[in-house]
Structure 1
Amino acid sequence: MDIDGEGLLLERVLEWMIIGLVGSIIVSAWLLIPPILRPTVIAYPWRMPESYSYRERDKTRTVVLAGSFNPPHFGHLAMLEYLSKRYKQVIVVIGINPNKIYAVTPAQRVELLRKMLQVKKLDKNIRVEVYAGYIWRYARQQGATIFFRGIRSWERDGKEERSLQILNTWGPLVCGPFVWPLPTIFLEGKPEYNHISSTLIRDLTKDMAGTESEHVEQSLQDLVPPEVAKELSELYSKEAKKAS
C-alpha cells in the first residue's frame, strides 16, 4: 500500500472512531438522562421495582448505602435492617473530605453506627467504612451492584440528592473513564421515623448543651438506641461547645 493509501485508511479509521465516540455519548445520554429526570424512589414498605425484585439473585448481591450519618439514628437503622434481609452484603459508606475538619469525625460516626448495629443485631452482613474519594468508585471496587441513598422524601430532600445522583451517574463515565454507573435507588424513610433527622439530633444536643447528661439521653431515646444515647450526647455536646 502506498503512502497516500495509508493516509486515506488512517483518515477513515479516525472518522469511524469519532463516529463511534459520538454515538456512544448519544446512547449514554439517551439511557442515563431519564433516570435523572425520573429517579427511582421507593416509598415504605420498600417494594422494589420489578427489575430489582428477583429475591434469589438479590441474596448474592452486594449493595452500598452512602450518607454522612452525622449522626446515625433509628431511620437509618430501619433502612439497613431491610437491606440486610434482602441482600448478601450491605456496605455503609461514610464519605470524607480530606480538606474539611469535622467536629465529630467520620471515624467516630462509624463507631457509633457499628455499636447501633450490634445493639440491633444487624452487624452480621453489614459493614461500615469511611472512604475519601468518589464513593461510586469504591462501590465498584467492592463489587456492589446497586447504589442506595436514604431520604425522608423526594419532596424534602430531592433537590440536594439530585446533584449527588448526577455525580454518581456521570462521574464513572467521565472520571472512570467510560465505566458504566451503578443504578441509584432512593429509599424514603419509614413513616414512624420520618420526623427524625441528623440535623434534629445535632440541634437538640446543641440546645441542651450544659444540661445534665441524663436529660439529654432521655431526649434522645426516641431517636437513637438508648444503649448509645450517652456516647452520642457526649460527642455532639462537645461539638456544640466548640461551636459556641
Structure 2
Amino acid sequence: MGAEERSPRIAICPGSYDPVTFGHLNIIERAAAIFDKVVVVVSTNTDKRSTFTPAERADMLRKVTAGMPNVAVDIHEGLVAEYAKTQGACTLVKGLRAVTDFEYEFQMALINQKLNPELETIFVTTDMRFMYLSSSAVREIAKYGGDLSDFVPPEIMGTIAERYHNHPSFTERSKGYDD
C-alpha cells in the first residue's frame, strides 16, 4: 500500500486589516508555517468605519505577503464560517494581543462553530514586540505624520501616508515619506 494522501490543511485568517500591521503579519507568517494554505480574508466589520476600502486593504496584504507562496488574499462580506466552507478550510486563526481581545474572539469562535461545526478556531498570541500595536494606533500616528516604520511593512508605508497626505498635521510633519 502506498502512502495515504491527505487533504491540504487550509486556514483562514480573517480580519479588517485597516491597515495591516507588523502584528498582523506576524500572525499570518506563523499560520503559514503551520498550514498548507492560508487565506487572509479582508472582512468588513459593520461596527467600524474603515479608512481603506476592502480592495485597498487586500492590495496592501498582497504586497506584504508576496513572498509567502502558500498565502492567498481574498475579500469577503458575510459570515466567515460560511466562507470557510467554500474554501475547504477547517481552521480559523485569530491573533490575540491581550486578555481583552480574548473575550470577544472566544464569543466569535463559539458562534462560528455553531454555524459551521467542522470549523475550529486557533488563537495565536501576538509576538511580544507587537502586543501594543493596533491598526487604530497606526491610523492615529499616520494622521499626525508620525514615523510608521516600526509599525507597518515598508511596502505599504507610502499607501498609508498618501491617505493622510492632505491632513494638515501630516503635511506639516511628513517630510520623510516617499513612495
TM-score range, shorter chain: 0.7 to 0.9
Match of 1:67 in 2: 15
Match of 1:148 among 93, 97, 106: 93
Q: Is 1:170 matched up with 2:114? A: yes
1:62, 1:143 within 8 Å by CA — same for their partners in 2? yes
Match of 2:60 in 1: 112
1:103, 1:239 within 8 Å by CA — same for their partners in 2? no
Match of 2:152 in 1: 224
Aligned length: 164
Q: Is 1:183 matched up with 2:128? A: no
Shift of 1:66: 0.9
In our comparison, the structure showing a higher alpha carbon Rg is: 1
Match of 2:176 in 1: none
Structure 1 unmatched runs, 5+: 1-56, 173-179
2:16, 2:45 within 8 Å by CA — same for their partners in 1? no
1:58, 1:88 within 8 Å by CA — same for their partners in 2? no
Structure 2 CA distance for partners of 1:88 and 1:106, relative to 1, 3 Å: same
In the aligned structure 2, how far is the partner of 1:225 from the partner of 1:111? 13
In the aligned structure 2, how far is the partner of 1:158 from the partner of 1:62? 23
The one-letter amino acid of 1:202's match is R
Deviations 1:62-119 (CA, angstroms, capped at 9, x unpaired): 111111111111111111112212211100111136898743111111101111112x
The one-letter amino acid of 2:142's match is T
User: TM-score of the superposition, structure 1-length normalised?
Assistant: 0.60
2:10, 2:38 within 8 Å by CA — same for their partners in 1? yes
- Percent of pairs with identical residues: 30
CA RMSD, Structure 1 to Structure 2 (Å): 2.6
The one-letter amino acid of 1:232's match is I
Shift of 1:146: 1.0
User: TM-score of the superposition, structure 2-length normalised?
Assistant: 0.80
Structure 2 CA distance for partners of 1:183 and 1:103, relative to 1, 3 Å: same
1:220 is paired with a residue of what secondary structure? coil
Structure 2 CA distance for partners of 1:149 and 1:100, relative to 1, 3 Å: closer
Match of 2:132 in 1: 195
Structure 2 unmatched runs, 5+: 169-179
Match of 2:79 in 1: 134
Residue pairs, 1:3-152, within 5 angstroms: 60-96=8-44, 102-118=50-66, 121-122=67-68, 124-152=69-97
